């Protein structure tokens, strides 16, 4: 069997979006709606255990019971989340968020080697589009055959449904692909779908173990910025290249 495709997560994997992107956007949306809420970095790290922005808001309201003049409906939560998304996209346009180390290089190398590319994420399609077009140009989305994003499946990560959806749309088996993730819920999602997974630790996932990952690294690496191995077999590679991914893939077959 040969490696046929790479499937990327987005938040924390393609780009470090959480602290300077989503977290700040949530707090600015709360201020816009006159809500006396503030999520600090520690609280947000806890809330990241819930996948999906609207779901995260609902979880926060249920667990922390913030003071509200009137109860918030699901439509109210969706409106807050929509405003937060607008703010987040503006931050991308302002250049506050960029691709992580090695991501653009690996995307280009994968395409040069005829590897198919997909995305499996819980963030919205609008967020994905903004990140890719800001970093890779107007044709950034075209690099990816399938964008599995937002509410296209009923259950978000750690459910495997988003990866199952992408695999089905690409007409691939899990054994044909490698997933690239950064978080525990994302890793649980990809592995539950049967995918071999490379993990690049991000700002909120530095302490997770990721047992069973093909390899755990600090990032994908560049020629002048080699990756640091956190967990995995020793290697002479200093960047996550197509050759390195094929070696990892073949070791499990």
Encode pLDDT of 157-206 as tens digits: 999 999 999 999 999 999 999 999 999 999 999 999 999 999 999 888 87
Separation of alpha carbons 121 and 157, rounded Å: 8
Tell me the mean pLDDT in the region 38-61: 95
Separation of alpha carbons 77 and 59, rounded Å: 11
Q: Quote the pLDDT of residue 88.
A: 95
Give this prediction's pTM. Answer: 0.92
Q: Is 107 buried (19+), middle (13-18) or exposed (0-12) by CB count in 10 A?
A: buried
Q: Quote the pLDDT of residue 191.
A: 97
Beta strands 5-8 and 196-200: pairing type?
unpaired
- For the segment 114-149, what is each residue's pLDDT rounded down to a tens digit? 999 999 999 999 999 999 999 898 888 999 999 999
Rounded to a whole number, what is the distance in angstroms from the first to the last CA of the chain? 8
Does 207 have pLDDT greater than 80?
no
Q: Quote the pLDDT of residue 142.
A: 92
Omega within 30 of 0 (cis) for the link into 158: yes
Please, are residues 121 and 11 in contact by the beta-carbon 8 Å criterion? yes
- For the segment 212-223, what is each residue's pLDDT rounded down to a tens digit? 999 999 999 999
pLDDT > 70 fraction of the chain, expressed in percent and rounded? 100
Query: Which residues are the active-site residues?
Result: 9, 11
Q: Quote the pLDDT of residue 124.
A: 92
Q: Quote the pLDDT of residue 190.
A: 98
Q: Among 223, 200, 149, which Cα is nearest to 13's?
A: 200
Domains along the sequence of the chain with CATH: 5-16+98-251 (3.40.50.1000), 18-93 (1.10.150.240)
Residue 59 φ/ψ, nearest 5 degrees: -65, -45
Concatenated DSSP letters of 73-119:
PHHHHHHHHHHHHHHHHHHHHTT---BPTTHHHHHHHHHHTT-EEEE
Tell me the mean pLDDT in the region 64-83: 94
- Residue 246 belongs to what H/E stretch? helix 242-251
pLDDT > 90 fraction of the chain, expressed in percent and rounded? 86
């Amino acid at each position: 069997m040969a490696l046929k495709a790479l499937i990327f997560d987005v938040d924390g994997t393609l780009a470090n979006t959480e602290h300077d992107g989503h977290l700040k956007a949530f707090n600015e949306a709360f201020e816009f709606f006159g809500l006396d809420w503030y999520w600090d970095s520690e609280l947000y790290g806890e809330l990241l255990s819930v996948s999906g922005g609207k779901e995260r808001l609902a979880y926060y309201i249920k667990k922390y019971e913030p003071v509200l003049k009137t109860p918030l409906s699901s439509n109210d939560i969706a409106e807050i989340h929509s405003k937060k998304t607008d703010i987040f996209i503006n931050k991308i346009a302002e250049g506050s968020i960029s691709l992580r180390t090695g991501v653009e290089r690996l995307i280009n190398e994968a395409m040069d080697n005829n590897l198919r590319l997909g995305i499996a994420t819980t963030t919205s399609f609008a967020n994905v589009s903004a990140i890719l077009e800001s970093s890779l140009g107007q044709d950034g989305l075209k690099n990816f055959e399938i964008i599995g994003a937002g509410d296209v499946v009923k259950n978000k990560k750690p459910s495997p449904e988003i990866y199952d959806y992408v695999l089905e749309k690409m007409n691939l088996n899990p054994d044909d692909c490698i997933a690239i993730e950064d978080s525990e819920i994302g890793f649980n999602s990809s592995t539950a779908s049967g995918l071999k997974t490379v993990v690049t630790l991000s700002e909120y996932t530095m302490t997770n173990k990721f047992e069973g990952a093909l390899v755990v690294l600090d990032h994908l690496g560049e020629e002048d910025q080699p990756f640091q191995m956190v967990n995995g077999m020793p290697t002479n590679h200093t960047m996550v290249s197509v050759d390195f991914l094929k070696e990892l893939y073949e070791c499990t077959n």
